[in-house]
Structure 1
Amino acid sequence: MIPDTAAHDPHAVVPVETAAFTAFGMREVDAGTIDAAVAAAGEDLVCVFFWAVDCFNCERAKQAMLAEPEPMRALGLRWLHANVHAHPELGLRFGLHGVPVFLFFHRGKTLGRVTGWHGHAQFAAAVAHARNKLAGRPPV
């Protein structure tokens, strides 16, 4: 049996499925670039997808998003993504206790959070809630 050294070595190269990142134009960010990337989005609602290598639920989320790409694109989000195992300081900064986590930002202000992937309908409802919060309307 070949030992799983990748799980024990944070510097080991592990292949990551990137199709969802490409399909939704997700820009990779880290602790040094996340604030500028959120600011560069201007008036767009930003969603940062926090994920990790070998995270079953992260892969499940990516697969579900790819299975129905048009409804995801219709949400009109500016996408960023960050690997929290490679950048644990982001997990500390945003109080992440597991992944996947999706955080919504507008002009640097956090408007909401989705922890885990519970389907497109719940994700879309969270996006609507963030937009309502931004507009000063009551929650959906």
Structure 2
Amino acid sequence: MANIRVDATAFSEFGMQELDAAGFDAGLASAGDELAVVFFWGLDCFNCEIAKKAMLAQPDAIRALGLKWFHSNVYEHRELGRRFLLHGVPT
């Protein structure tokens, strides 16, 4: 999987902090009183790419929501997929 390139533009544009299974709860706790959103994604996920492109098409509107963003590759961190019952595309 290391050779597959992931378009991480949306992750950097919205300051999404990457979470893995070990740091997931602490990462969310770091949001404090901010509303936290986790963008769960996977390699070669068509709907994930559509979502990122839609967000990038309206960055000001996304930022105006005032969200604290996180992201996690649930294909890499399968325990998070199991924890949140994520199966298939879309979830």
Normalised-by-shorter TM-score class: over 0.9
Match of 1:53 among 43, 56, 69: 43
CA–CA separation in structure 2 for the residues paired with 1:82 and 1:55: 13
Task: Give the residue type in structure 2 aligned to 1:43.
Answer: D
Partner of 1:14: 4
The structure where strand makes up a greater share of residues is: 1
Structure 1: give runs of 5+ residues left out of the alignment.
1-10, 101-114, 116-140
CA shift for structure 1 position 94: 0.7
- Pair member with larger Rg: 1
Q: Count residues with an aligned counterpart.
A: 91
CA–CA separation in structure 2 for the residues paired with 1:60 and 1:91: 20
Partner of 1:73: 63
CA–CA separation in structure 1 for the residues paired with 2:2 and 2:43: 11
Structure 2: give runs of 5+ residues left out of the alignment.
none
Higher RCO structure, 1 or 2 (CA under 8 Å, sep 6+): 2
CA–CA separation in structure 2 for the residues paired with 1:74 and 1:98: 30
C-alpha RMSD over aligned residues: 1.2
CA–CA separation in structure 1 for the residues paired with 2:75 and 2:4: 12
Match of 1:90 among 76, 80, 84: 80
Match of 2:55, SS state, is helix
Task: Give the residue type in structure 2 aligned to 1:29.
Answer: L
Task: Give the residue type in structure 2 aligned to 1:42.
Answer: G
Structure 1 segments (4+ residues) deviating >3 Å: none
CA–CA separation in structure 1 for the residues paired with 2:15 and 2:33: 17
Task: Give the residue type in structure 2 aligned to 1:57.
Answer: N
CA shift for structure 1 position 97: 1.7
TM-score by length of 2: 0.94
Match of 1:92, SS state, is helix
CA–CA separation in structure 2 for the residues paired with 1:80 and 1:74: 16
